Amino acid sequence: QGLVMGNVRIPTCHDKPGTTHIVQFTHQEDTQISIALPTVHEVDLFRCFCPVFFHIQMLWELVLLGEPVVVMAPSPSESSDTVLALVSCISPLKYCSDFRPYFTIHDSEFKEYTTRTQAPPTVILGVTNPFFAKTLQHWPHIVRIGEIKLPGVYTSYKPYLNRDEEIIKQLQKGVQQKRPAEAQSVILRRYFLELTQSFIIPLERYVASLMPLQKSISPWKSPPQLRQFSQEDFMKTLEKAGPQLTSGLKGDWIGLYRHFLKSPNFNGWFRTRRKEMTQKLEALQLEALCNEDLLFWSQKHTEVETVDLVLKLKNKLFQADREHLPMKPDTMEKLQMHIDAIILALPDDLQDILLKTGTT
């Protein structure tokens, strides 16, 4: 047997969840293509949801809204896979609450999660111990799977969207025709992806509109602030640019959005988007600075003002590097050249101090 050698790249915090990067190495001695896996373990969606596939759309809503869900399964592997399948069904949206693929009575949160004196937390639990059938029976959404009594979804939740009969028929047809489970999983994953994208695109579009115009960015002022997210303004956009543009599903989309906007998943998603947009504004401001004649500016200002500018520019460079600001490739280089030119135009004693001065 031949030995296949390959490169494995572990995803970093800067990789977007659910994406797979192909990295082409430029070294002559390494002509292989490396693939970065979005996850080490991709679960078999269809196998996980097969016992409850009539309810997949409702489960998608429950996960999207960060509702407390407990999965009761006969084995740790089934419980774990089903919890991971639930978490992944809203991809590329990141599930921002806690999830425990295999929760036991020995976990430190056991008392907190089984108490009846407060509402269950926004967490997805996977359990196997029959003891939980009693201690967690007050949880609002219970998914029973595998070789246990009466599999199904036990909940009083009323879905916001009408059930998509097409996906049910497609999966049922696959079962009748003995379609491989892998193919069924691909169908299911694509269905979830399209559903999530239809839901999230209007939000992406609205949030993009909160970005200030590029012409409002001045090299000499702090970057402008993003406009505030207004729930009502967003809701108004749905009439013409809502999910109906990409999804044929009917139902109370407005109600689903209102509920989602109160969820941890929205908070996590919006925090990420706001950070990305703020960083983009900072990057644009730095690019605007680079296009200025900073040396000429320094010659028209006092030494104190010039030193202050150099220190600020150094700090901005450090921040841009640390935060991986999304800038044009040569911006950092240009900024460093500006700094060097300004320092060289200063008296020797100041040059020495500024060349030694680091950043905070």
pLDDT digits (tens, 9 = 90+) for 243-279: 988 888 999 999 999 999 999 999 999 999 999 999 9
Within a domain: 192: no
pLDDT digits (tens, 9 = 90+) for 74-95: 999 999 999 999 999 999 999 9
Over 50: is that where the pLDDT of 300 sits? Answer: yes
Assess whether 92 and 36 both reside in one domain. Answer: no
Percent of the chain with pLDDT over 70: 87
Mean pLDDT computed over 293-309: 85
Mean pLDDT lowest among 92-101, 136-145, 149-158, 326-335:
326-335
Residue 213: domain span: 201-274
What local confidence, expressed as pLDDT, does residue 57 receive?
A: 95
Within a domain: 185: no
Tell me if 281 sits within 8 A of 212, measured CB to CB: yes
What local confidence, expressed as pLDDT, does residue 360 receive?
A: 42
CA angle 270/13/36 to nearest 5° reads: 120
Assess whether 136 and 168 both reside in one domain. Answer: yes
Assess whether 217 and 240 both reside in one domain. Answer: yes
Residue 340 tokens, joined: 């060097």
Over 90: is that where the pLDDT of 302 sits? Answer: no
Assess whether 304 and 343 both reside in one domain. Answer: yes
CATH of the domain at 165: 3.40.50.11500
Beta-carbon neighbour count of residue 59 at 10 Å? Answer: 26
- Give the distance from CA 143 to its chain's centroid: 25
Assess whether 168 and 55 both reside in one domain. Answer: yes
Number of structural domains found in the chain:
4
272 or 312, which is more confident: 272
User: Quick one: CA dihedral 340, 344, 348, 350, positive or negative?
Assistant: negative
Within a domain: 19: yes
- Place 148 in a pLDDT band, splitting at 50, 70 and 90: low
What local confidence, expressed as pLDDT, does residue 19 receive?
A: 47
Residue 114 tokens, joined: 């089984």
Residue 155 tokens, joined: 């909940």
| Chain mean pLDDT for the chain | 85
Within a domain: 167: yes
pLDDT digits (tens, 9 = 90+) for 26-38: 444 444 444 444 4
Assess whether 71 and 123 both reside in one domain. Answer: yes
Assess whether 26 and 71 both reside in one domain. Answer: no
What local confidence, expressed as pLDDT, does residue 209 receive?
A: 94
Within a domain: 195: no
Report how far residue 145's alpha carbon sits from residue 71's, in angstroms, rounded to the nearest whole number: 7
What local confidence, expressed as pLDDT, does residue 183 receive?
A: 92
Assess whether 171 and 209 both reside in one domain. Answer: no
Within a domain: 71: yes
Residue 345 tokens, joined: 């135009």
Report how far residue 132's alpha carbon sits from residue 38's, in angstroms, rounded to the nearest whole number: 32
Over 70: is that where the pLDDT of 351 sits? Answer: yes
What local confidence, expressed as pLDDT, does residue 1 receive?
A: 47
Three-state SS across the chain?
CCCCCCCEECCCCCCCCCCCEEEECCCCCCCCEEEECCCCCCCCHHHHHHHHHHHHHHHHHHHHCCCCEEEECCCHHHHHHHHHHHHHCCCCCCCCCEEECCCCCCCCCHHHHHCCCCCCCCEEEEECCCCHHHHCCCCCEEEECCCCCCCEEEECCCCCECCCHHHHHHHHHHHHCCCCHHHHHHHHHHHHHHHHHHHHHHHHHHHHCCCCCHHHCCCCCCCCCCCCCCHHHHHHHHHHHCHHHCCCCCECHHHHHHHHCCCHHHHHHHHHHHHHHHHHHHHHHHHHHHCCCHHHHHHCCCHHHHHHHHHHHHHHHHHHHHCCCCCCCCHHHHHHHHHHHHHHCCCHHHHHHHHHCCCC
Assess whether 103 and 19 both reside in one domain. Answer: no
What local confidence, expressed as pLDDT, does residue 61 receive?
A: 97
What local confidence, expressed as pLDDT, does residue 26 receive?
A: 40
Within a domain: 114: yes
Over 90: is that where the pLDDT of 2 sits? Answer: no
User: Quick one: CA dihedral 215, 220, 221, 222, positive or negative?
Assistant: positive
Calculate the dihedral angle through the C-alpha atoms of 7, 13, 19, 25, rounding to the nearest 10 degrees.
-30
Over 70: is that where the pLDDT of 8 sits? Answer: no
Within a domain: 283: no
Domain boundary among 135, 161, 176: 176
- Give the distance from CA 299 to its chain's centroid: 46
Mean pLDDT lowest among 3-17, 96-110, 176-190:
3-17
Cis ω before 92 (30° cut-off from 0): yes
Assess whether 89 and 146 both reside in one domain. Answer: yes
Prediction pTM value: 0.80
What local confidence, expressed as pLDDT, does residue 305 receive?
A: 86
Over 50: is that where the pLDDT of 11 sits? Answer: yes
Assess whether 67 and 160 both reside in one domain. Answer: yes
Q: Letter for the amino acid at 258?
A: R
What local confidence, expressed as pLDDT, does residue 235 receive?
A: 94
What local confidence, expressed as pLDDT, does residue 291 receive?
A: 83
Report how far residue 106's alpha carbon sits from residue 236's, in angstroms, rounded to the nearest whole number: 48
Q: Count of residues for the chain?
A: 360
